[in-house]
Amino acid sequence: MAYLQHYTPDMRFVKYTLCCLFLIAAIKLNAQQLTWSEVEPGIWKAVAGKPEAFDLLKTAGAVPYHAGLVEMGKTSFPLSQADITAKIIDGKTYLSFPLDHTEQLYGFGLNFQTVHQRGKILTLHVDNYAGKDDGHTHCPTPFYVSSKGYGVFINCARYIKVYAGTAVNRDSKTPPKIQDRNVDKDWKSKPYSDNVVMLVPAEGAEIYVFGGPTTMDAVRRYNLLNGGGCLPPRWGLGFTQRMQRLTDATGVAAEAKAFEDKGYPLDFIGLEPGWQSKSYPCTFEWDKTRFAEPKTLVQDMLKKGVRINLWTNPYISPESHIYKQILPYTGNYTVWNGLVPDISMPEARKIFFGELEKDKVDIGVSGYKMDEVDGGDNYLWPDVATFPSGHSAEQMRQTYGLMMQRYVTELYHNRNQRTYGLVRASNGGGAALPYVIYNDYYNHQDFITALINSGFAGVLWTPEVRASKTAEEWLRRFQSNIFSPMAMINAWASGTKPWTFPEVADQIKQLANLRMQMMPYWYSEFAKYHFQGIPPFRAMNLEPGFMGVDVPKDAPKKNINLEENPYEEASQKEIKDQYMAGENLLVAPMFTGQTTRTVILPKGKWYDFYTGKLAGDGEVITVTPGLDKIPVYVKDGGIIPMMPAMLHSPKAGDKVDIEVRYYGDKPGSYRLYDDDGETFNYEKGAYSFREIKVEKLNGKVKGSISNAIAGKPNTIGNVTFKMMTE
């Protein structure tokens, strides 16, 4: 005890008190000086306060795809470090990031109605989307990118409140103009703000900054930090039909036969709640009256090239045989009277995912559709729920979808088998997980906006087709759907089929066939999502030469004062009805009732996807495509590798002929991805990108493809070239 003897108790008290006061002062009054370290090339991390161990990246199991980040090379820190501040006050983290007059912001998760996020106030909260872009959405990723070419990510599993360029700091160096509402006619209700501020309800958080120089670079780095985007199995990119909820084994077989007989492609069938003996809450057991021999059914279907996907939510019925065993590892509030397993605990995971594996994954089921892990509040566990892991209801809400994806994926990874499924909630960190988000909302226009925003949020989204009032709507929705991450009819309630509207049944078949023909393109684009972090479906704003194209001259103009409201101009150009699908395609969906629309073509020449004809050159065109066509354009020199239309995706080892379609005048090149299409062997190098090159010389196509690499899977048969532009 010698070390204590220098002090009298009083002195110790004084020193202790002084120390406390100093700490309090440091916490209360000063913004923390953040220290940035480059954790991957072009990605910097700073730690504010004491971040929680249960964060998004760890919960998602994200492992950065280092090789992809190295390949992107070096870049410089994109912001003034002094202008990024963090304070910890009363257990909350206050963050501020700079903005300048010219920036537009994108991201903050899967928004449905807006692409531009500057000027928004959001509470990032996993939730069922309720018709308003206020941060409550299926995937409220705390990640944004700027038009200036950088990104910011907050690695925290809490409800983060964001003011994205609305708050005006009293001590701002670039303050807005003072006005007088009494007489100034241009008085602004929203003065200029030079910051993004966030309240993170935790004692600290990890902050990541992603360098550019382009906005796409920042997006790519974010996805690569997540481990790279997911790579679905080839069959995942085929066509899928979800059946009416109470169908039975006979119904499933009949459905597959009908597709076959009528000549519509089909890769997997989804079974809705009725496969379970009871649902809401769930038993996770096959209903023996509807599915007497599930293994036989699943295997028979597999032989026909059709996989089975199973709906479930995680809420456990007292009649499930795992109920008693899992009870100690569940939250203290139920959902539809079902237990909520605390899947952040290994004990719960062993039981719960064991149940999802047994008689399901084990018998050949290809994947899951994981429903209702998002909210809303009116059915989910309340924020006062507690979980035996000690994780709060809020943390569980923000991560449940992530964890469901991660641990189901692990079941498949353990057997070296890829899966591709559906989920209704995700969050930051989840880009590598092979799931597509869907929901109950059903606005076609907003579905396209979501598809655009998915590319900023590290998720995939399907504008699924459920039911339609008219053949026109059916066709228009289907057209968008085949240019999305999952081509799907979700007939759980309606029982609709692709041929439900006979007057457009042929067009639907053509579209479904087109989806299949484009598989080499889709698959290669997903490979780029995985290896390079490039989102396969994304905003025009990420396309070079887009931001410089003028909007139509007759578009309604607002009264713009750039000095005062610099982002007004950018907001006028908010484009929510066209998007990029992979490297070379610009998709401009048509909506019910529309016969004509404008399309903004980025700088350079663009060609009609179907005819190869020149559509325009960095300009706004007006098109009248007719009911049968969704306008799609290919960039100059664009290459689209196609395969023959097939009813089911090629199996591992099958050789498939490729027709390389080439558009425009410029020399083109394309990286065609190849692997076995079904396993994770690509993680160990069993893949290749083969280089396609095409030139048009004197009206003739001269094409080449690099040789297959010895020892790598090779599914590429004959390669032919087709010059689309005469």
Shortest separation between residue 92's beta carbon and a copy of itself, angstroms: 8
CB atoms near residue 611 (< 10 Å): 12
Binding of a copy of itself by 15 (CB under 8 A): no
Residue from 89, 493, 555, 709 touching a copy of itself (CB under 8 A): that is 89
Asked if 140 interacts with a copy of itself (CB under 8 A), we say: no
Q: Where on the phi/psi map is residue 653: left (φ > 0), alpha (ψ -120 to 50), or beta?
A: left
The DSSP secondary structure of 673-702, one letter per residue, reads EES-SSSSGGGGT--EEEEEEEEEETTEEE
Q: How far is the CB of 332 from a copy of itself (least distance, A)?
A: 5
276 contacts a copy of itself (rule: CB under 8 A): yes
Distances (CA, A) of 213 to 72, 130, 202, 235, 287: 11, 35, 32, 36, 55
Residue 687 and residue 693: Cα distance in Å, rounded?
19
CA pair distance 519, 521, nearest whole angstrom: 5
167 interacts with a copy of itself by CB under 8 A: yes
Quick check: 253 binds a copy of itself (CB under 8 A)?
A: no
By beta-carbon proximity to a copy of itself, the closer residue of 163 and 662 is 163
Q: What gap in Å lies between CA 662 and CA 697, rounded to an integer?
A: 13
Nearest-approach distance from CB 143 to a copy of itself, in angstroms: 19
Confirm or reject binding of residue 280 to a copy of itself (CB under 8 A): yes
Closest to 724 measured CA to CA, from 703, 701, 702: 701
What is the spatial distance between Cα 360 and Cα 590, in angstroms, rounded to a whole number? Answer: 40
| Beta bridge partner(s), residue 585 | 581, 634
Residue 84 or 581 with smaller CB distance to a copy of itself: 84
H or E stretch covering 259: helix 249-262
The residue (of 351 and 630) whose beta carbon lies closer to a copy of itself is 351
Q: With respect to a copy of itself, which residue has the nearer C-beta, 96 or 688?
A: 96
Which of 50, 66, 101, 190 binds a copy of itself (CB under 8 A)? It is 190
> Whole-number minimum distance, CB 177 to a copy of itself, in Å?
8
CA proximity to 427, closest of 199, 145, 137? 137
Stretch that binds a copy of itself, among 226-234, 311-319, 487-495, 554-562 (CB under 8 A): 311-319
Task: Tell me which residue of 536, 548, 420, 425 sits closest to 488, measured CA to CA.
Answer: 420
Which of 50, 91, 416, 622 is in the footprint of a copy of itself by CB under 8 A?
Answer: 91
Do the beta carbons of residue 86 and residue 31 sit within 8 Å? yes
**Min separation Cβ 171 and a copy of itself, Å:** 7
| 723 within 8 A of 700, measured Cβ to Cβ | yes
27 touches a copy of itself by CB under 8 A: no
Q: Which is it for strands 632-635 and 435-437: parallel, antiparallel or unpaired?
A: unpaired
Query: Least distance to a copy of itself from the beta carbon of 717, Å?
Result: 46
Q: For residue 441, state whether it binds a copy of itself (rule: CB under 8 A).
A: no
Task: Write down the residue that tokens 């290669």 correspond to.
Answer: 524
Site string for a copy of itself, 362-401 (x = CB under 8 A): ---------------xxx-xxxxxx---x-x---------
Q: Which of 58, 295, 300, 336 binds a copy of itself (CB under 8 A)?
A: 336
User: Strand (E) positions, 476-546?
Assistant: 487-490, 537-539
Stretch that binds a copy of itself, among 192-200, 299-307, 595-603, 714-722 (CB under 8 A): 192-200
- Give 562: exposed, middle or buried? Use CB within 10 Å, 0-12, 13-18, 19+: exposed
Q: Residue 318, preceding bond cis, omega within 30 degrees?
A: no
Q: Cβ 629 to a copy of itself, closest distance in Å?
A: 40
The single-letter DSSP state of residue 602 is P
Closer to a copy of itself by CB, 94 or 567: give it. Answer: 94
**Does 571 contact a copy of itself by CB under 8 A?**
no
Minimum distance, C-beta of residue 574 to a copy of itself, in the bound complex (Å): 18
Of 243 and 514, the one with the shorter C-beta distance to a copy of itself is: 243
Tokens found for residue 300:
């028979």
CB of 406 to a copy of itself, least distance (A): 24
When the beta carbons of 274 and 713 are compared against a copy of itself, the nearer one is 274
- Piece of 68-76, 335-343, 496-504, 682-690 that binds a copy of itself (CB under 8 A): 335-343
> Could you give the 3-state DSSP secondary structure of residue 307?
strand
Which backbone phi and psi does 223 adopt, to 5 degrees? Answer: -60, -40
Task: Report helix, strand or coil for 657.
Answer: strand
The conformation of residue 561, written as its DSSP 8-state character, comes to: -
In the region spanning residues 220 to 249, those forming contacts with a copy of itself, defined by CB under 8 A, are 245-246
Q: Under the rule (CB under 8 A), what is the footprint of a copy of itself? A: 1, 4, 9, 28, 87, 89-91, 94-96, 121, 161, 163, 166-171, 175-182, 187, 189-191, 197-199, 201, 245-246, 273-274, 276, 278-281, 287, 317-319, 330-334, 336-337, 339, 377-379, 381-386, 390, 392
